[in-house]
């Protein structure tokens, strides 16, 4: 079974409660669930949140969206992911994060298909796609081994670094440039995840422009919109979306 696990919590440091913030009257996380549902190679969706009381709104969103949920440790996200995948009976795990309301089901299917065809332990999204379409696919066996062996803060908080950093153990096969994007330039510098208030403003603008006439708008629809309105890129210019991981790497050095 291929299970998409979306990690989400209310306690974001930079933008608290962001996954429950409303876009066109619907929680951001509910929009993401709606989009992931269209992935043809995903059998089940699970929301992996924490056991803290403040994350009750996420459970409510999961229930109203009709998807499963799992509650686990707030800091040890790797263990939370592992236990969620184990409970779901997953063979193949798709890792998504709840700050990506532009998740593209076609991109998810592209990465899952690549992972399966290459009989890999781990595959990630094509390197030329925008940040915010992040999709990681890995085997349950790789996840289980990582959960048992990973020690560093960055490895426990961000789920996949232990796998990625040990190619001598795991078969890592990543697609080069993806086939869905037909452009000639690398657009990986586009920042489509929601980490700051300006990011939320950007995705809200995108939904306002596209959702009313095409509820399942895809990556190329967003790119067409940006081509028509390049000023959208100025809204959250200068952010990368990877500040959280950099913070964990600093914690690694302190621990060592």
Which alpha helices (H) appear in 2-76, and where do they start and end? 28-36, 56-65
Q: Please tell me the pTM assigned to this model.
A: 0.92
Q: Residue 200 gets which letter from DSSP?
A: H
List the pLDDT tens digit at each of the 256 positions of the chain: 999 999 999 988 889 999 999 999 999 999 999 999 999 999 999 999 999 999 999 999 999 999 999 999 999 999 999 999 999 999 999 999 999 999 999 999 999 999 999 999 999 999 999 999 999 999 999 999 999 999 999 999 999 999 999 999 999 999 988 888 877 788 999 999 999 999 999 999 999 999 999 999 999 999 999 999 999 999 998 766 555 545 444 444 444 5
Largest CA distance in the chain: 53
Looking at the structure of the chain, the number of domains it has is 1
Domain extent, residue 161, equals 2-255
Q: Cα separation of 136 and 174, whole Å?
A: 10
Burial of 22 (0-12, 13-18, 19+ CB in 10 A): exposed
CATH number of the domain that 178 lies in? 3.90.550.10
By the 8 A CB rule, do 224 and 232 touch? no
């Amino acid at each position: 079974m291929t299970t998409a696990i979306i990690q989400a919590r209310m306690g974001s440091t930079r933008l608290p409660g962001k996954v429950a913030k409303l876009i066109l009257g619907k929680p951001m996380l509910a929009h993401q669930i709606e989009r992931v549902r269209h992935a043809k190679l995903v059998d089940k969706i699970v929301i992996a949140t924490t056991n803290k009381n403040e994350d009750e709104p996420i459970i409510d969103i999961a229930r109203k969206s009709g998807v499963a949920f799992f509650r686990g440790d707030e800091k040890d996200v790797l263990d939370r992911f592992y236990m969620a995948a184990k409970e779901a009976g997953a063979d193949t795990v798709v890792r998504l994060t709840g700050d990506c309301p532009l998740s593209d089901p076609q991109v998810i299917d592209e990465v899952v298909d690549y992972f399966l065809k290459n009989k890999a332990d781990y595959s990630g999204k094509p390197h030329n796609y925008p940040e915010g379409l992040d999709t990681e696919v890995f085997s349950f066996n790789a996840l289980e081994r990582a959960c048992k062996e990973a020690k560093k803060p960055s490895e426990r908080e961000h789920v996949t670094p232990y796998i990625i950093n040990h190619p001598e153990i795991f078969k890592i096969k990543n697609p080069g440039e993806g086939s869905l994007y037909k452009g000639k330039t690398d657009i990986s510098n586009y920042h489509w995840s929601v980490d700051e208030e300006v990011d939320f403003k950007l995705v809200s603008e995108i939904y306002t422009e596209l959702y009313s006439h095409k509820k399942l708008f895809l990556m190329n629809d967003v790119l067409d919109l940006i081509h028509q309105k390049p000023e959208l890129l100025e809204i959250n210019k200068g952010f990368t979306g990877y500040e959280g991981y950099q913070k964990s790497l600093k914690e690694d050095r302190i621990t060592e």
